[in-house]
């Protein structure tokens, strides 16, 4: 299998970037100031985290998208708090130097008390550097309380998968001037409440540009155009595991073909008795 980039450049020619120390919130702010784009990917397990840690990915997000990509559920709302903490701990062990973001699952930040308590779990139990929660103006007090408790927050604005039903489905946001104005107000309010990062999902670049100009913190985009300081993709979408993906997803490789090829070769080897061979067997010590 040959993995290629968006420009069909062979993976062997793509330089591998190794971490130069722990990536922190301050690192991301410096990257923003120096106009160095921030690359973020989702990650859900230890071995994948080990691989991504060698590739220069500064930020990993343990997203509640694990409910759909890993568990096969129909919605992200099926991710539980215990499940998310468990995955985040695994990713932290695999990638100790990255900036690690834990995704607050559905219902885990319904009140100030639950938000602070569950946010602390991500930091204390799972080793996360930051938590992400899907926000609007109603979450201003929650973000402020979490910040006061010492929990770094990334405020997720725009398309909110946990509330897709309330938003009329998985529709991009900021379609009208009224919606765009609301998103800008929400972004400013979240930063003023203490959010250290913003994540915009499925909004036009014109709206992203307005938000970038209105706030001082790094703004990450998920289908939000080139004006953002960085971008995030769901790893399984990027690698070809997912059949139907949003329009903003670029497939940078097709891992499924390699997995299918290896599994088929294994089945054939077993059925033809080519596996196992002598070298795969344990011996018995003679008395």
Ranges of beta strands (E only) in 169-248 are 197-201, 219-222, 230-233
Cβ atoms 68, 170 nearer than 8 A: no
Record the tokens describing residue 22, joined without a space. 């722990």
Alpha carbon 120 to chain centroid, angstroms: 19
Q: Which of 112, 115, 113 is nearest to 133 (CA)?
A: 115
Q: Is the peptide bond before 182 cis (omega within 30 degrees of 0)?
A: no
Which of 134, 140, 191, 201 does the annotation list as catalytic? 201
For the question of residue 201 being annotated catalytic, the response is: yes
DSSP result, 55-119 = TT--EEEE-TTHHHHTS--SSGGG--HHHHHHHHHHHHHH-TTSEEEEEPPTTTTSSHHHHHHHH
Record the tokens describing residue 127, joined without a space. 């080793």
Cβ atoms 11, 4 nearer than 8 A: yes
Alpha carbon 212 to chain centroid, angstroms: 20
Q: In a 3-state reduction of DSSP, which class is residue 192?
A: helix
Active site residues: 201
């Amino acid at each position: 299998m040959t993995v290629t980039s968006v420009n069909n450049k062979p993976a062997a020619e793509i330089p591998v970037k190794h971490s130069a120390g722990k990536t922190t919130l301050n690192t991301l702010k410096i990257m923003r100031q120096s106009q160095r784009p921030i690359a973020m990917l989702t990650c859900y397990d230890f071995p994948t985290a080990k691989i991504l840690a060698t590739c220069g990915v500064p930020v990993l997000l343990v997203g509640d998208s694990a409910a759909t990509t890993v568990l096969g559920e129909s919605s992200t709302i099926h991710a539980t708090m215990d499940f998310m903490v468990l995955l985040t701990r695994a990713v932290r062990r695999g990638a100790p130097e990255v900036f690690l973001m834990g995704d607050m699952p559905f219902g885990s930040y319904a009140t100030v008390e639950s938000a602070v308590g569950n946010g602390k779990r991500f930091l204390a139990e799972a080793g996360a550097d930051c938590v992400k929660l899907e926000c609007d103006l109603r979450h201003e007090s929650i973000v402020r309380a979490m910040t006061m408790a010492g929990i770094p927050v990334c405020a997720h604005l725009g398309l909110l998968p946990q509330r897709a039903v309330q938003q009329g489905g998985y529709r991009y946001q900021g379609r009208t001037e009224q919606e765009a104005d609301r998103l800008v107000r929400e972004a400013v309010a979240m930063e003023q409440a203490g959010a250290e990062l913003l994540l915009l999902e499925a909004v036009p670049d014109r709206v992203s540009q307005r938000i970038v100009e209105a706030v001082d913190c790094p703004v990450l985009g998920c289908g939000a155009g080139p004006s953002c300081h960085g971008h995030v993709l769901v790893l399984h979408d990027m690698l070809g595991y997912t059949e139907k993906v949003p329009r903003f997803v670029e497939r940078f490789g097709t891992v499924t073909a390699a997995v299918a090829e290896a599994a088929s070769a294994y089945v054939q080897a077993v059925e033809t008795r080519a596996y196992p061979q002598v070298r795969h067997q344990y011996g018995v010590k003679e008395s």
